[in-house]
Amino acid sequence: MNASGGRLAALTKDLWAKWQQTRESWSDANSIEFERRFLQELNISVDKTVAVIDQLDKLLAKIKTDCE
């Protein structure tokens, strides 16, 4: 499951890099609002999700160890 968190983080980082390229040609009030409303919120949500996935991964590993 931890690989899923890493993949999610990597894809989000890639999206952010693509956004930075887009900002080179789209830099107005709408782009700033789009970044604030969607991309910054996405980054916050992904960070929280990756942390939860990591916790779940540790919990599953503990359960597996306890059951052996």
Identify the residue whose tokens are 């999610």. Answer: 8
Residue 33 and residue 36: Cα distance in Å, rounded?
5
pTM of the model as a whole:
0.79
Confidence class for position 1, pLDDT limits 50, 70, 90:
low
CB 12 within 8 A of CB 50: no
- Which pLDDT tens digit goes with each residue over 15-31? 999 999 999 999 999 99
pLDDT of residue 67: 94
Identify the residue whose tokens are 């390229």. Answer: 21
Tell me, what DSSP letter sits at residue 28? S
When pLDDT is averaged across residues 38-57 and rounded to a whole number, the result is: 95
Extents of the domains making up the chain: 2-67
Q: Where are the beta strands (DSSP E) in 1-68?
A: none
